[in-house]
Chains A and B, each alone.
Chain A
């Protein structure tokens, strides 16, 4: 099977994007001070998090597969993460 990038993989999924509400918020200061930022980048299977040149963490919430791994590894206060509003987000057809 030909190797696919994470965005190519995500393109096979069905998403209902919630354009009104972002369900993820990084506290940049705490993320930087605790090392949570890099842990988020490394642990997310959907590559929702990326580190910018200035060290801030950007969030592509539309890609989220809603597993909750980021919340589990984040230091207290570094991340606000909850499920998208009802009906929005990834909609698995296989599961």
Chain B
């Protein structure tokens, strides 16, 4: 594939998030000349996530990750909560096996991504912070447009391969024609506060010891019935607390997103966790919720797309993932770009190994496994009726009001008869859930 000018770098990566940093790191380690461009003043300064990183993938890249990287707490407690206005039903899952080996950690991205960028630099990549890439440079090739570099203001830089790691909004892949504007049911907005509290207070409130951490996920009244959920994640001496709400439902119900966030913070079962805390930072982030359906073209002549920019996020109802998928896509991209450079073919065909490796890895395979999860989780019942139904059944069992008791099954039947839910919905949701999740 002829290129008209000798490039400045073999690879230019746009965006120093997890996907961009891991791609840059692995390619620099292979001895490739790599430029990593970041629009924030420093790497990490534009980056934000809810906060739980399933860490096994990134430990394959950095074997000493848990000891060296600025991670917060090891998650050993997962608390899944149907949160109604005046009742709450939860599964409280704690397990020593989640601590050894460690499965998930909380992170604060401004700190983590700064560390990742340092690793890239140590491996030989050049980091260029404070620079916004405005567009990719293209040339007409035999098979249409070929990406040959990037433009930032007056400056133009050329590379054999450009890696678009510019996040969920990915202006780069949209402009290159790889992605279209998403329908609103494929997108959600996350709103988050980081609330400082003394570490002893956090450990006492969440029943934790040492560097153990808890992840609380809630659905129901916490988002005023809008599709989505709320979360609390423990950091060392702060709590990440937030909501994520689907944009189609938010706009259809004409709700104000900050009212929903306030409602969650002030919920009587949530507020006590935050009591006495000081706000450290307030942020938000667009979240891809479309699952497999959002992943379109991820390679073209001279360019690949990784991480959030490729639509790689996954909500399975129990786990909410994005950062580990960013790692998986970065590993797949680096494994494909290396040989493509070796063979001097960085056309779409030369880079096709990326897609194959992605869908051979845990990241792509999990996207396929959970392909039906987004549609299943769109059902309105998940966010209102189910939580109330569960609480009503339990109330029937615990409320010993001196009336003669009935068996639990008959309490459940009577509760169901009074609920807007129908038996056939329970059955069909049960079957669909078992297939989707």
Binding site for B on A (CB under 8 A): 1, 3-4, 6, 8-10, 12-13, 16, 38-39, 41-47, 65-69, 71-73, 82-87, 89-95
- Identity of the chain A residue whose Cβ is nearest the Cβ of B113 in the assembled complex: A95
By the criterion CB–CB under 8 Å, are B255 and A13 in contact? no
Cα A4 to Cα B184 with chains together (Å): 29
Q: Does B171 contact A (CB under 8 A)?
A: yes
Binding site for A on B (CB under 8 A): 39-42, 44-49, 108-113, 129-132, 152, 168-169, 171, 181-182, 184, 187, 189-191, 193-195, 238, 247, 250-251, 254-258, 261-262, 265-266, 271, 274-286
Residues of A within 8 A of B283 (CB): 13, 65, 90, 92, 94-95
Q: Are B257 and A43 in contact (CB under 8 A)?
A: yes
How close is A10's CB to chain B, nearest CB, in angstroms? 6
Given A72-B184, A92-B47: A86 and B39 within 8 A (CB)? yes
Q: Is the CB of B281 within 8 A of A46?
A: no
Cβ distance A76 to chain B, nearest Cβ, rounded Å: 9
Q: Are B111 and A43 in contact (CB under 8 A)?
A: no
The answer, among B111, B132, B277, for a CB contact under 8 Å with A95, is B111
Question: Secondary structure at chain A's binding surface: helix, strand, loop or mixed?
Answer: loop
Contact (Cβ within 8 A) B169 A68: yes
Closest to A8 in B: B279
Seed contacts A16-B41, A92-B109; 17 additional CB < 8 Å A-B pairs: A1-B265, A10-B282, A12-B282, A13-B282, A42-B250, A45-B191, A68-B168, A69-B187, A72-B187, A72-B247, A86-B132, A90-B283, A92-B47, A93-B110, A93-B281, A94-B110, A94-B280
Closest A residue to B169 by beta carbon equals A68
CB <8 Å contact, A1 and B113:
no
Residues A42 and B256 in contact in the complex (CB < 8 Å), given A1-B274, A85-B132, A90-B283: yes
A25 to chain B, nearest CB (A): 16
Contacts of B278 in A (CB 8 A): 1
How far does the alpha carbon of A84 sit from the alpha carbon of B286 in the complex, in Å?
17
A8, B152: Cα distance in complex, Å: 34
5 A–B contacts, CB within 8 A, in A order: A45-B284, A72-B247, A72-B286, A89-B46, A92-B44
Q: Is the CB of A68 within 8 A of B251?
A: no
Does A71 lie within 8 Å of B284, measured CB to CB? no
Given contacts A43-B251, A45-B191, contact A6 B258 (CB under 8 A): yes
List, in ascending order, chain B residues with CB within 8 A of A84's CB.
Answer: 132
Pair A95/B48 contact, Cβ less than 8 Å = yes
Query: Once the chains are docked, how many angstroms separate the CA of A88 from the CA of B39?
Result: 8
Residue with the highest number of chain B CB atoms closer than 10 Å, among A13, A65, A91, A95? A95
Chain B residue nearest to A66 (CB atoms) is: B46
